Amino acid sequence: MGDVKPLSAEGEIKRLPRGPHRLAREEVLASQRARMLEAMAHAVAAKGYAATTVADVVGGAGVSRKTFYEHFQDKEDCFLAAFDVGVGVLVNAVERATLEATGEWRNHIRAGVRAYLNTLAAVPDFARTFLIEVLAAGPRALERRAEVHARFAQVLRTLHETYRADHPDEIPELPDEVFIAVVGAVNELVSDRVRKGRTADLLELEPVISYLQIAFLAGHSEAADDL
């Protein structure tokens, strides 16, 4: 995917200097691991999870097969590690934006939606891995996906409870399934764009997703301004 920066816990992959160096072993290992996670995301986005091989990863990362197995048990293990790192960055961006937003509670939802879409649009390889290819990566990957959805649902529940505390007679208590359903609906909308190769256009969905979340949590009248 060319010049798009990879998604990592630090925001970028740290490359080793060419030639002799005096880096600590921990720095070398961290660089190797980061490059392999990046290579996994690129390979899966280009070829699909099923067709991606360990050879694709070591070739893309510029490491040996021996080095790969010093870090990961197999392809699945590497994929899950890449997924976890990317998800950590994505969820943290959403939670931070939601908490730091000011003004009425709806602004917090809008800020979280914007952070979610902007983060995915900036890293199309990860977006495809996170939304599309995870479905082909087996039971452990699906469990990870469910955990991420639950975490996003909890963000929505917290916002709903905060708003409901100020309007107890207007806003009903909602079951957990409602928040999971909202997350699922958002996931499907975004996945459809990514599947069609329109990751760069994800921010166009901000008004629709903001409306969807606010309407589910507080009703159409509260969300109408977003359409």
- pLDDT at position 103 is 87
Given this model, what pLDDT does residue 34 score?
A: 93
CATH of domain 76-226: 1.10.357.10
8 Å CB contact between 96 and 90: no
Q: Which residues of the chain have pLDDT under 50?
A: 1-6, 8-21
pLDDT, residue 217, reads 83
Model pTM above 0.75: yes
